[in-house]
Structure 1
Amino acid sequence: MIGALAKAVFGSANDRYVKSLDKIVATINALEPQLEDFSDAELSAQTAKFRQQLEGGKTLDQILPEAFATVREASKRVLGMRHFDVQLIGGIVLHRGEIAEMRTGEGKTLVATLATYLNAIEGKGVHVVTVNDYLARRDAEWMGRIHQFLGLTVGVIVPNLPEHARRDAYAADITYGTNNEFGFDYLRDNMKQERTQQVHRPFNYAIVDEVDSILIDEARTPLIISGPTEDKSDLYIALDQLVKTLPADLYEADEKTKNISLTEEGVEHVEQLLIANGVISTDNLYDVENTLVVHHLDQALRANVMFKRDIDYIEKDGKIVIIDEFTGRMMDGRRWSNGLHQAVEAKEGVKIEPENQTMASITFQNYFRMYPKLSGMTGTAATEAAEFWDIYKLNVVEIPTNLPVQRIDEEDEFYKNTADKFQAIAKSIREKQDLGQPVLVGTVSIEKSELLSGYLKKEGVEHAVLNARFHEQEAHIVAQAGRLRAVTIATNMAGRGTDIQLGGNVEFRIEDELKDLEEGPKRDLEIDRIKAEVAAERQKVKDAGGLFVLGTERHESRRIDNQLRGRAGRQGDPGLSRFYLCLEDDLLRIFGPDTLFAKMMNSNLADGEAIGSKWLSKAIETAQKKVEARNYEVRKQVVEYDNVMNDQRKVIYEQRSEVMDADAVDDVVTDMRVDAINTMVGTACPPESYPEQWDIQTLKARVADVLGMEPPIDAWMEEEALEPDIIEERLVTLAEEKMAAKIGETDPSIWRQIEKSILLDRLDHHWKEHLATLDALRQVVFLRAYAQKQPINEYKQEAFGLFENMLEAIREDVTRVLMTAQLRMAEPPPPLPELPEFLTGHIDPFFGTDDAEGVGRIAGAEAILGSLAGAPHPTVGPGGAEGDSNPYAGLDISRNAPCPCGSGQKYKHCHGAA
């Protein structure tokens, strides 16, 4: 009560903070008349002036007012768009390393140009992170015109970009790209052999668009680069056939976590079937030798019971394509991990691709925390403000709208079942269409979109469907969703990046209707006609009530619902929103209070009857909060486990960088050799033990294996007062002599390069194996909770021990290779084998799901292998000669990517065909 009164009198903390920025905005506005008198050349010269001021000791905060005023004036001249005062406030918030929450239609893309320009003046690089490639390209081209006008360089990072172009894009003052591309490039950089092959510059500043989608929704799934392993198709098929015969009472399923497990009766039944079919040879399914079978049996169960066709995935061109649960888009080329994708392929009877092994991974939390300054913008962040602060130390600031919001948000309507609900939705949509009011319908899956489409066809309602099957056309469909009588069904509206304007979008209509008309008076007349038609139609839509946003059910997250609602009522336009729910919705069925809804609705509602109540809406919000809290715990768990790996990742990547930057690594190699010898002797001859207790035979075998020597250890043992440190010294001396002789046989510069290559190669090999071991450890460590142990503490302890073992193995392996390898400087090396296609994935470590877009061969991987083999690896076109008949032969294009020629075929079936 007192808090509410104080807030009414003094305003909230957010209101006071925003109001405190008014002085800076006033200073920016005061500079506008002065800058309006500048010529284009004088305005462009501002950048050089600002750089001089920074070199002279001024700070970014001190030049902010004039820099922002310069960007505003440049935007007016280049784009015909003037930043509102609230957009200037948003720009200040971004520059301060905070999250600007701005409603849909408030111009977040334009807001970003302010902070981007100011921070790019330093020349250290600014990354603007978007949710998909379309937006990255669009924003780089559209907003990049302002920056280029002011003398800054702009780059864009998209999949399958050649290495040299990727490096140039990162070298630009401002770089646009997706979160996945930035993260994968970081991982790729740390798989390369030379510093000159890397593309990233040191981290400086990033602005994350749709920050809640990237740093919250996608943060549960780490980025993973992987390579193929052996084929186990027969096992997948055998287990799939077995699972399809299992009665439902032999397993227990948990829809909340998508986990499934056999009952005791189920285990006995499956054991008998597996033994009868020769899949396992022991009587106990859980024997150590059957670990692989148990793992893939679990995945086959999950694939058949928990993963639904047209909801979690679709079959397209004989392949299983994952559907992004957040955006509803197809994620071509993405694959679930840990054998789950293969299990789904076996289930659907399509070709089974081999599994992949992790080669590098990182979570978005740990990737984005490497930026010294980070900020973000979105329409919906307040509900996750606590998580943004806990994980990223980012404060959320709500920016007021430029004009008051006129949208009316109606109470939810509840129905008994899906059929009643969809009939009511179809009827309501037809009524709105008859009035001329445009309708945007939000669904949670492709299946629901197509189901509703069927109801609308029965009602005779013309409509467009926007989901994963048609995402190539999505920008054009969304752009016209505000036209008179338009009905648009969208699987998800988060991150669509295209504004819904009442009456239609002028730019998209010009692009669609006048694409074949050349520049000239005739085209100008047609443009004037389109503008007049859009203005007239806009008024008619306003009179009809503006855009009507209709949700077919509630999402697990309140933010997704708010994103959908926010599409209506932009820039002071009228609008309406309403959600339709029923007992069969996933949220109510899985998380809702069963007794409340079952008793109240099943007994009191007639077929087709609806009920609306603030009390019921509150119950729904409570269910959503439960899901959000559960998802937050999952994300916290992910970052807790990745923090363990992150500490180790930093050590390994720092060591790689030091090795790459060093002219010679002979001192490192020498230390490794001494440490390896100390470990061998220390293991065979423990401290404070008697010579009779020493394991001399093992020591001799280890010395022969690692050092390639057979010193007279037996003779040494006959000496009196022999100590382990004396053996160590003698072995070190002999090893040094052998190594000096080997080095003397070759050119010192060549030997230095050999040492670097072997050190990096062995480091990468053991790190990859270590990642696989940690993956396996994370899968089983939860079982220790049954022993009253904390899984995360157990994981930390064992991961530390495994890391020490890995470092020891690296030292020994490098020593073995250098001491025992025979150098032959004769014939040129044979041609390199074809490089395996390394996949980029975005894998959920607990559920195995993959959330990323685009797939590609590791950029520059040929150069990596070429460096190790000492020979280049030319790209050969289909004609047999380098580049012959293939204009794209020199580009690093994935064989599974669409061909750049626009044929619609994959590259390997088109210009990339052998």
Structure 2
Amino acid sequence: MKGRPVGLPAGRDVTERSREGTVMALRDRLRRLVQKPGSTDLAPFRAVVADAATREERVRALSDAELTAAAGALDGNDPAELCALGREAARRALGERPYDVQLLGTLALLSGHVAEMATGEGKTLAGALAAAGYALRGHRVHVMSVNDYLARRDAEWMGPLYERLGVTVAWIGQSSTPAERRAAYTADVTYAPVSEVGFDLLRDRLATGPGDPLQPAPDVALVDEADSVLVDEAMVPLVLAGASDLDAASPRYADLVRRLRPGLHYATDEEARNVQLTPVGARQVERVLGVDLYAPENLDTLTAVNVALHAEVLLHRDVDYIVRDGRVKLISESRGRVALLQRWPDGLQAAVEAKERLEASPSGEILDSVTVQELIGRYPVRCGMTGTAMAVSGQLREFYDLGIAVIPPHRPRIRVDEPDRLYATTEDRDTALVEEIVEVHATGRPLLVGTRDIAESERLARRLTRAGLSPVVLNAKNDAEEAEIIAGAGALGALTVSTQMAGRGTDIRLGGASEADRDEVAALGGLLVIGTGRYHSSRLDDQLRGRGGRQGDPGGSVFFTSLRDDLVTHYAPDRHYKGPADADGRVHDKGAHWILGYAQRVAEGVSLEIHRNTWRYNHLIGLQRKDLLAERDEILKGDLAARTVSEGAPAKYTELAGTAGEQAVAEAARQLLLFHLDRRWSEHLAFLADLREGIHLRSLGRGLDPLVEFHREAVPAGKRLSAEARTRALKAFESLTATPEGIDLTGASLNRPSATWTYIAHDNPFGTLDDRAFRGLVTLFQGKHRRP
């Protein structure tokens, strides 16, 4: 809005006003230079926070009842009043007065951004104030976390704050009953794991009565650990399955491939993402099974052997999964935790269970699925918070239209992040790593050593034990002890070896939980975080670093890496360093360090392209699902079913209505159409899965674009879906009989699954065929990132 600057007297000299305007412009330009490129300008938010500060004394004089009433009367166009009321409510309810930077985070969320806030800066409180702000504007808010523990913890922790502001709050977990879920969704703010929100959506999509759905219409989604949920797990399918007669994997295939020898009977590609039988291996399998493996009639046998081989060779215990309580538990690569409810597609899941000689878990047909990206995309308003967002700002903008607001810390960060210590070989790296840990531990300085998987954490712990140390190990095998381990990780003399799970969502306090030795630990330099190698994403590196130096605490971080790490050998296989190393095998050459960063950039680029490619396939499926759900909603809540049967089978409609009444006929028609529409959708999903997996074999040989070929068959199949469902429903309708008591549906074969369950599909850990083709993009990205 143009006009004289606020606060300037009207009669002030024009030259003076011009000079002040020039100074302000220069200051604004300097601020834009200082802030991170691509991030949101915080100046408007700072002005609001400053305005809120002028109201603090007045708001503090309000009684509790007056405070609640003032919140209820809030004008949505007065964010400063919200900040002032929210700050005072937090002070009274939680004993915490939000810092200015927390209010900046709140305003960023209320503006529909992702707030990047460092570890320990109070994201939970900032998120709660934003959720309350949305609720007071009349919105219903779903605060999505990554697990049950955080959903319940944050809802209960922030409960008194919400109550003071007159906002209702509830939470949902894996064990919540349908009645508890229904009640929770009526609250102004509902905390829940993103998976549970998705599962409830899938169950609602199979509702057979107008009052059955649990969820309200999507409104506001506030996502915690937004980068993990919106990027790392964006294309993860949440699945609703129904019982079927699918056979479990035969243990004989697991026994067979266990006896095959690498190099002789099978070979893997450079990235260990694919494995195939050699001619010698194929003949060996044929001798054992007594079949012609490649004969058309033995396709199922060939598939079973290949799946068993994938399970045996490419999936590793204590890296990709653990065995706990007689079950295979998958490990989340980005979090290092057990991936609750997650499983591989049925054939592969059963093959791993057979490999581990475990009882097979239930298998079934997929009734419906939804990706995390599609789930979040349903919400008209989206926002989120995390400690590491800028590294994926492009993806957040591209796939969710979300900007990033980088919130400065309350106290300046003084953590010392050392350059990588790079070694020529993994052996040199590991030796130096142990020596460094022993030396630092002797001073009493607490150490957190981050490893890339469970197996590595346990190998390192054994080496440290042989060196006379007593490390505490935190990984997915003992995640129940996480809170206790993390509480002591900052204590004097603490030595913790952990996977990527280390304390996400919690703080490591100097001096331990009681902070008894805080001053002594601080004098030693605070918590030292050591990484045993770079992750495939720089964000995961930053998340590990962020375990130390919280809220201005002293701390340090350093990564021990090698030129033989998987990151380099997989993503920069053509980059060979032949320069010198010192007596300990350490490499100081800048070119060698460039290779490491280059490999990580290639890995991130390939990951992005796979995300885009997967989205291109799923986008079409999402559009088809949207059309189907619109029709299903008309059937469920309107008279579409009755109109369909009255127009498609008028004589039968008249006959049944004359006997049982039009209302009974309408309900019978509703159940028939819903059943056959759901049935056709399940069949369509199976068809699309097979089509996508096989499309490359058919298109590559002819030089065609696999995505175009996929659309060529998927689009017309989707258009036929609704008509085929109606045809089936009308055929079943013609066979119905009626009495004055109602219509008999028993003969219509409306056999919905006797049992359903939900899980998160680890949608082929080796990549589908189209994903594996995208691995060829490594070469492309190598070209883009070549050193000038």
What TM-score, normalized by structure 1, do the two folds share? 0.76
Which residue type is aligned with residue 524 of structure 2?
Answer: A
1:422–1:455: 8 Å Cα contact kept in structure 2?
Answer: no
* 8 A Cα contact 1:403 1:571, kept in partner: yes
Contact in 2 for aligned 1:406/1:575 (Cα 8 Å): yes
Corresponding residue to 1:241 among 212, 233, 255: 255
Find the counterpart in structure 2 of residue 703 from structure 1: none
Residues 47-69 of structure 1: CA deviation (Å, up to 9, x unaligned): 3212xx4xxxxxx3x12110121
Moved more, 194-203 or 493-502: 493-502
User: Are positions 1:153 and 2:168 aligned together?
Assistant: yes
2:56 equivalent to 1:80: no
Q: How far apart are residue 626 of structure 1 and its match? A: 0.7
Task: Check the 8 A contact 1:322/1:330 in 2, yes or no.
Answer: yes
Closer, same or farther in 2 for the Cα pair 1:400/1:286, shift >3 Å? farther
Alignment counterpart, residue 592 of structure 2, candidates 609, 616, 628: 616
Structure 1 equivalent of residue 635 of structure 2: 659
Amino acid at match of 1:750: A
Deviation at 1:230, TM superposition (A): 2.3
One-letter code of the match for 2:54? A
Partner of residue 55 from structure 2, selected from 16, 28, 31: 31
Match of 1:211 in 2: 226
Alpha-carbon distance change, 332 to 643 in structure 1, aligned in 2, over 3 angstroms:
closer
1:755 and 2:755 are equivalent in the alignment: no
418-427 vs 99-108, which moves further? 418-427
Cα 1:833/1:237, change in 2 over 3 Å: same
Aligned match of 2:711: 796
Q: What amino acid is aligned across from residue 448 of structure 2 in structure 1?
A: L
- AA aligned opposite 1:780: G
**Counterpart for residue 600 of structure 1:** 579
Among 752, 764, 770, the residue aligned to 2:684: 770
Q: Specify the alignment match of 1:135 in structure 2.
A: 150
Distance 1:358 1:468 in 2: 28
Alignment match of 2:622 (pick from 646, 653, 663): 646
SS for the counterpart of 1:31 is helix
The structure 1 residue matched to 2:721, chosen from 791, 799, 806, is 806
* 2:178 equivalent to 1:202: no
Q: Could you report, residue by residue, the CA deviation over 1:158-198 in whole angstroms, capped at 9, with x for unpaired residues?
A: 11211111011111000101111111111111011123221
Q: Partner of 2:761 in structure 1?
A: 843
Equivalent residue in structure 2 for 1:580, among 518, 541, 560: 560
| Match of residue 900 from structure 1 | none
- State the SS of the aligned residue for 1:339: helix
Show the 5 A alignment for 1:819-838. Answer: 819-823=734-738, 836-838=754-756
Residue in structure 2 matched with residue 346 of structure 1 by the alignment:
354
Kept in 2, the 8 Å contact 1:229–1:356? The answer is yes
SS in 2 for 1:342: helix
The one-letter code of the counterpart of 1:396 is: I
Aligned position for 1:385: 393
Q: Which moved more, 1:160-169 or 1:221-230?
A: 221-230
Aligned partner of 2:173: which letter? V
The corresponding residue for 2:305 is: 297
Q: 1: distance between equivalents of 2:270 and 2:389?
A: 27
- Paired amino acid for 2:540: I
Higher deviation after alignment, 172-181 or 106-115: 106-115
Q: Deviations over 1:390-420 (max 9, x none)?
A: 1111112211112111111112123344444
Contact 1:410–1:577 (Cα < 8 Å) also in 2: yes
Task: Name the CA distance, whole Å, in 1 between partners of 2:55 and 2:182.
Answer: 37
Alignment of 1:58-73 (within 5 A): 60=76, 62-73=77-88
Contact 1:255 1:306 in 2 (8 A): no
Residues 1:630 and 2:639 are matched in the alignment: no
Alignment-mate amino acid for residue 765 of structure 2: F
Question: Secondary structure at 2:62's aligned position in 1?
Answer: coil
Residue type at the aligned position of 1:838: T
1:106 counterpart (118, 121, 124): 121
Cα deviation, residue 829, structure 1: 10
2:410 is aligned, of 396, 402, 413, to 402
Structure 2 CA distance for aligned equivalents of residues 209 and 167 of structure 1: 22
Greater Rg by CA: 1
What's 1:492 paired with? 500
Q: Deviations over 1:547-592 (max 9, x none)?
A: 1001011111110000000111111111110111234432133224
Q: State whether residues 405 and 572 of structure 1, in contact with CA within 8 Å, keep that contact through their aligned partners in structure 2.
A: yes
* Conserved? CA contact 2:657–2:664, under 8 Å: no
Structure 1 counterpart of 2:717, one-letter code = L
Assess, with a 3 A threshold, how the Cα gap between structure 1 residues 255 and 169 changes in structure 2: closer, same or farther.
farther
Q: Secondary structure at the match of 2:701?
A: helix
2:733 to 818, 826, 833: 818
Structure 1 residues 15 and 159: alpha-carbon distance in aligned structure 2, compared to 1, 3 A threshold: closer
For 2:727, the aligned partner's letter is E
State the one-letter code of the partner of 1:573.
D
How big is each residue's C-alpha offset from its partner over 1:252-276, in whole Å with a ceiling of 9 and x where there is no partner? 32353722233455445545544x1
Give CA deviations for 1:713-742 in whole Å, capped at 9, x if unaligned.
xxxxxxxxxxxxxxxxxxxxxx52343123
Q: 1:153–1:173: 8 Å Cα contact kept in structure 2?
A: yes
**1:219 aligned counterpart, secondary structure:** coil
Distance change (3 Å), C-alpha of 1:834 and 1:810: closer
Q: Is the 8 A contact 1:482 1:547 kept in 2?
A: yes
Is residue 372 of structure 1 aligned with residue 380 of structure 2? Answer: yes
Structure 2: how far apart are the matches of 1:847 and 1:436? 41
Which amino acid in the other structure matches residue 785 of structure 1?
L
Query: Please, which runs of 5 or more residues in structure 1 have no aligned partner?
Result: 54-59, 507-533, 674-734, 851-914
Q: Alpha-carbon deviation of 1:664?
A: 6.8
Letter matched to residue 730 of structure 2: T
Q: Match of 2:320, as an amino acid? A: D
The structure-2 alpha-carbon separation of the partners of 1:20 and 1:791, relative to structure 1 and needing over 3 Å to count, comes to: same
Contact 2:115 2:384 (8 Å CA) reproduced: yes
**2:141 equivalent in structure 1:** 126
How far apart are the structure 2 equivalents of 1:481 and 1:550?
13
SS of the aligned residue for 2:497 comes to: strand
Cα distance in 2 between the residues matched to 1:448 and 1:27: 52
Query: Is the contact made by 2:49 and 2:100 (CA closer than 8 Å) also made in structure 1?
Result: yes
1:557 aligns with 2:557: no
Quote the residue 1:443 is aligned against.
451
User: Which amino acid in structure 2 is aligned with residue 138 of structure 1?
Assistant: R
The 1-side partners of 2:31 and 2:70 are apart by 43
Paired with 1:201 and 1:254, the residues of 2 have a C-alpha distance of 48
Instruction: Return closer, same or farther for 1:787/1:835 CA change in 2, 3 Å cut-off.
Output: closer
Return the alpha-carbon distance in structure 2 between the equivalents of residues 333 and 219 of structure 1: 17
How far apart, CA to CA, are the structure 1 residues paired with 2:308 and 2:650?
A: 55
| Cα distance between partner residues in 2 of 1:160 and 1:387 | 33
SS of equivalent residue, structure 1 residue 496: coil
Structure 2 residue identity aligned to 1:136: A
Q: 1:469 aligns with which of 455, 474, 477?
A: 477
Q: Partner residue of 2:646?
A: 670
Partners of 1:442 and 1:493 within 8 A in 2: no
Q: Which amino acid aligns with 1:111?
A: A
Identity of aligned residues (%): 36
Distance 2:687 2:751 in 1: 28
Q: CA shift at 1:621, angstroms?
A: 1.6
User: C-alpha displacement at 1:431, in angstroms?
Assistant: 2.3
Preserved contact between residue 438 and residue 486 of structure 1 (Cα < 8 Å): yes
Matched residue type, 1:600: G
Structure 1 counterpart of 2:440: 432
Provide the C-alpha distance between the structure 1 equivalents of 2:568 and 2:183, rounded to a whole number of angstroms: 50
Contact 2:273 2:767 in 1 (8 A): no
> Alpha carbons of 1:368 and 1:479: their partners in 2 closer, same or farther (altered >3 Å)?
same
Q: Deviations over 1:661-718 (max 9, x none)?
A: 12573213334x2xxxxxxxxxxxxxxxxxxxxxxxxxxxxxxxxxxxxxxxxxxxxx
Q: Mind listing any 5+ residue stretches in structure 2 that lack a counterpart? A: 1-27, 769-788
Query: Does the CA contact (< 8 Å) of 2:660 and 2:742 recur in 1?
Result: no
After TM superposition, give the deviation of residue 244 of structure 1 in Å. Answer: 2.7
Query: Separation in 2 of the partners of 1:201 and 1:398?
Result: 32
Distance 2:710 2:38 in 1: 40
